[in-house]
A and B are shown apart, each in its own frame.
Chain A
Amino acid sequence: MQPAGPSGLGSWFVTRYPRKHFDEAEEFLSKYILTLYVTGTSPRTKIAIDNLDRICKQELDGRYELEIVDVLEHPQRAEDEKILATPTLIKQLPPPLRRVIGDLSDKDKVLLGLEVRSDLPSSPNGST
């Protein structure tokens, strides 16, 4: 079996490492590093932050770090990340890098975009 890029990482760990190592890796990998880019304090910004807060609390159970960046204050960061739309949510870790744009009002799409595996009926990172 050929591990298919970053998304095959989970099963690769399972086959190669004993249970103990796997737990440690799992813990590291399941930590979500998120950045949310917003424009100022518009109503849309507020909606996006509220939505994200709720999703993280429900689905990620403390396993995340979130940074909020206002592009009006830090335009260079938007430039470096090549961001056009706000709000944009970027999942830096675990790989792969994913982006979700919009006010995050559609929870399923957010989870799909972030590839949150835990309790989705059909995991996008399932067995190969």
Chain B
Amino acid sequence: MTTNNHPAVEKLRTGISSLDIIAKGGLPKNRTTLISGTAGSGKTVFAVHFLAAGIELGEPGVFVTFEESAADVRANMLSFGWDLSAWEEAGKLAFVDASPDPQIETVESGGFDLGALVARIQNAVNKIKAKRVSVDSLGAVFSQFTDQAMVRGELFRIASALKKMGVTAVLTAERTDDHGPVARFGVEEFIADNVMILRNALEDETRRRTIEILKFRGCDHQKGEYPFTIVPQGGVIVIPLSAMQLSMKSSNVRISSGNKELDEMCGGGFFRDSVTLVSGATGTGKTLTVSQFLQGGAAHGEKCLLLAFEESRDQLVRNANGWGFDFEKMERDGLLRVVCDYPDVSGLEDWLVTIQAIITDFGPQRVALDSLSALENVGTIKAFREFVIGLTSFIKHKEITGMFTSTTGSLMGGDSITESHISTLTDSIVLLRYVEMFGEMKRGLTVLKMRGSAHDKAIREFTIGKGGMQMGRAFRNVTGILTGSPMHVSPGDVERVWTQYDKDVGDMRRRSEDRPAS
């Protein structure tokens, strides 16, 4: 809360933009923040990323390592694109290497303190005028000395010394359990003003990393666990889902779906920054709808991105050729990029980050993903939902038109898990259905939902051939298509229903006109 002038506790923008969102501006400035997590939860990467992001903002940093040697840290962090040695030479980074040296035998005789360590940190901070300090990790200090009570006292001293130095510090600590005590030695959380927890939980045979801000003394933050991922050349990337604001701009510009009749059914085409879900059983024409959508974009000189998780590039190109769309030419013209991969090659968080990176790099106006159902099994249902939310809001933020497909389980009618989880997240839903009539399988299409626009409610028959989708007439005399049990009704029945409907509506109108306007 801000009073009339300034907040009580100032925040330091970390430069890890996604973290700054959930931390509502950054870490509390000139204070210490404890990062606690189990082995492999990403503590060291976080600690280094905090400094790396600071260096990019022109704030030098000191890395105090108790566990790995400075040489190991330098080598390990190269894969993230952080050249620590270069920063050291440039005077932007300094190491305080407090890792144990197995070559030197040490005997303890009587009381001691960690005065030398404090002096070394102070020296390093002064030397490069550091604004940030990372200490990795507190637990390792305990293992270097037998006198645990002394270490406890000394850690408090280090924390208060860090505050006096005017730096913002990140201290890491181990915990034995993802949902147990904050840290192993039971004192770490009292040393720091703020506590953040990194988790790396195993759910349904997949690893899921989350970050949670447990407490920020004297200032506000987002609550709960947020998924994050660690990517090469990127470091820690938090996915701040519920913190995302529904402040996307909304466009009234219509764009073509690539099919004239479908555009008409949608009331003139999809909206510029909308996301459409195409749902149907296998073989109903989902990939066709997607191909058509991309073709329609390229025809208007728009850049299109296809993320394909079901078919290889060659298959897609061949199929598109069959419908008369030349994907290879579109690629040559720089209007199409096809990304094909197995959905299982990485976790959903990683996919989200990867896809965002591809979109940022290519800068398309249209993005199609075929199919979401293939990604559904990569993670838990929760992770999947988060993935879709993350991708949808990113696409909208970039004012890109999106199209996702989802496969229904049963051939006739029915819905899919994908659909029930994400239908509220999409702006439009196009259903593709098989319709069995007189011993023949026909295909039907309907626009189920179209946010912010009128649309055709009819279920239209369509055929697939050269040139793509050919829209036919509406199934006038059939009911029960969506439930999967189409029934033919005689035209007389249909006529009677509509007559009754018109009569009822007419009665209602008259009644409301009779009433005085309120």
A87, B109: Cα distance in complex, Å: 10
Asked whether B108 lies within 8 Å of A84 as measured between CB atoms, the reply is no
Tell yes or no: A102 within 8 A of B by CB. Answer: yes
Residue in contact with A101 in the complex, picked from B98, B103, B109, B122, CB distance below 8 Å: B109
Asked whether B105 lies within 8 Å of A98 as measured between CB atoms, the reply is yes
Query: Digit string of A96-115 for contact with B (CB within 8 Å is 1, else 0)?
Result: 11111111111001101100
A86, B112: Cα distance in complex, Å: 6
In the complex, residue of chain B having the shortest beta-carbon distance to the beta carbon of A75: B123
Tell yes or no: A85 within 8 A of B by CB. Answer: yes
Query: Digit string of A63-95 for contact with B (CB within 8 Å is 1, else 0)?
Result: 000000001100110110011111110000000
* Contact status of A78 and B116, CB under 8 A, knowing A84-B98, A98-B107, A109-B107: yes
Instruction: Please give the distance in Å from B57's CB to the nearest CB on chain A.
Output: 26
Asked whether A37 lies within 8 Å of B116 as measured between CB atoms, the reply is yes
A42, B106: Cα distance in complex, Å: 23
Asked whether A88 lies within 8 Å of B116 as measured between CB atoms, the reply is yes
User: Which residues of A pack against B, CB within 8 Å?
Assistant: 37-40, 42, 44, 47-48, 51, 71-72, 75-76, 78-79, 82-88, 96-106, 109-110, 112-113
A97, B116: Cα distance in complex, Å: 19
Q: How many A-B residue pairs have CB under 8 A?
A: 106
Chain A residues whose C-beta falls within 8 Å of the C-beta of B114 in the assembled complex: 84-86
Within 8 A of A (CB), among B65-109: 96-98, 101, 103-109
Instruction: Please give the distance in Å from A113's CB to the nearest CB on chain B.
Output: 3
Tell yes or no: B516 within 8 A of A by CB. Answer: no
Asked whether B109 lies within 8 Å of A85 as measured between CB atoms, the reply is no
Tell yes or no: B120 within 8 A of A by CB. Answer: yes
In the complex, residue of chain B having the shortest beta-carbon distance to the beta carbon of A96: B105
Asked whether A82 lies within 8 Å of B101 as measured between CB atoms, the reply is yes
A96, B447: Cα distance in complex, Å: 83
Chain B residues whose C-beta falls within 8 Å of the C-beta of A76 in the assembled complex: 123
Chain A residues whose C-beta falls within 8 Å of the C-beta of B115 in the assembled complex: 38-40, 42, 71-72, 85-86
Chain B residues whose C-beta falls within 8 Å of the C-beta of A75 in the assembled complex: 119-120, 122-123
Q: How many residues of B contact A (CB 8 A)?
A: 27
In the complex, residue of chain B having the shortest beta-carbon distance to the beta carbon of A45: B115
Asked whether B97 lies within 8 Å of A82 as measured between CB atoms, the reply is yes
Instruction: Please give the distance in Å from A53's CB to the nearest CB on chain B.
Output: 15
Tell yes or no: B110 within 8 A of A by CB. Answer: yes
Asked whether B107 lies within 8 Å of A100 as measured between CB atoms, the reply is yes
* Contact status of A79 and B105, CB under 8 A, knowing A44-B111, A84-B98, A104-B110: no
Tell yes or no: B145 within 8 A of A by CB. Answer: yes
* Contact status of A85 and B112, CB under 8 A, knowing A97-B104, A98-B105, A113-B107: yes
Instruction: Please give the distance in Å from A81's CB to the nearest CB on chain B.
Output: 9
Chain A residues whose C-beta falls within 8 Å of the C-beta of B105 in the assembled complex: 96, 98-99, 113
Name 9 A/B residue pairs within 8 A (Cβ), A-sorted.
A51-B110, A71-B120, A78-B120, A85-B116, A85-B117, A86-B112, A99-B105, A100-B107, A102-B109
Chain A residues whose C-beta falls within 8 Å of the C-beta of B112 in the assembled complex: 44, 85-88, 101-103
Chain A residues whose C-beta falls within 8 Å of the C-beta of B423 in the assembled complex: none
Chain B residues whose C-beta falls within 8 Å of the C-beta of A100 in the assembled complex: 106-109
Tell yes or no: B479 within 8 A of A by CB. Answer: no
Chain A residues whose C-beta falls within 8 Å of the C-beta of B123 in the assembled complex: 75-76, 78-79
User: Which residues of B pack against A, CB within 8 Å?
Assistant: 96-98, 101, 103-120, 122-124, 144-145
Asked whether A86 lies within 8 Å of B110 as measured between CB atoms, the reply is no
Instruction: Please give the distance in Å from B70's CB to the nearest CB on chain A.
Output: 10
A97, B111: Cα distance in complex, Å: 22
Asked whether B116 lies within 8 Å of A109 as measured between CB atoms, the reply is no
Asked whether B104 lies within 8 Å of A86 as measured between CB atoms, the reply is no
Chain A residues whose C-beta falls within 8 Å of the C-beta of B122 in the assembled complex: 75
* Contact status of A79 and B109, CB under 8 A, knowing A72-B119, A84-B116, A97-B104: no
Chain A residues whose C-beta falls within 8 Å of the C-beta of B110 in the assembled complex: 47-48, 51, 102-106
In the complex, residue of chain A having the shortest beta-carbon distance to the beta carbon of B144: A84
A82, B120: Cα distance in complex, Å: 9
A98, B144: Cα distance in complex, Å: 16
A71, B110: Cα distance in complex, Å: 19
Closest 4 CB pairs of A and B: A39-B115, A113-B107, A75-B123, A102-B110
Instruction: Please give the distance in Å from A39's CB to the nearest CB on chain B.
Output: 3
A96, B110: Cα distance in complex, Å: 22
In the complex, residue of chain B having the shortest beta-carbon distance to the beta carbon of A78: B116
Chain A residues whose C-beta falls within 8 Å of the C-beta of B145 in the assembled complex: 85
Instruction: Please give the distance in Å from B197's CB to the nearest CB on chain A.
Output: 27
In the complex, residue of chain B having the shortest beta-carbon distance to the beta carbon of A89: B109
Chain A residues whose C-beta falls within 8 Å of the C-beta of B106 in the assembled complex: 98-101, 113
* Contact status of A44 and B113, CB under 8 A, knowing A84-B144, A100-B107: yes
A100, B109: Cα distance in complex, Å: 7
A122, B508: Cα distance in complex, Å: 110
Instruction: Please give the distance in Å from A61's CB to the nearest CB on chain B.
Output: 21
Asked whether B108 lies within 8 Å of A79 as measured between CB atoms, the reply is no
Asked whether B117 lies within 8 Å of A84 as measured between CB atoms, the reply is yes
A103, B108: Cα distance in complex, Å: 9
Asked whether A82 lies within 8 Å of B113 as measured between CB atoms, the reply is no
Instruction: Please give the distance in Å from B46's CB to the nearest CB on chain A.
Output: 23
A104, B111: Cα distance in complex, Å: 8
Asked whether B119 lies within 8 Å of A78 as measured between CB atoms, the reply is yes
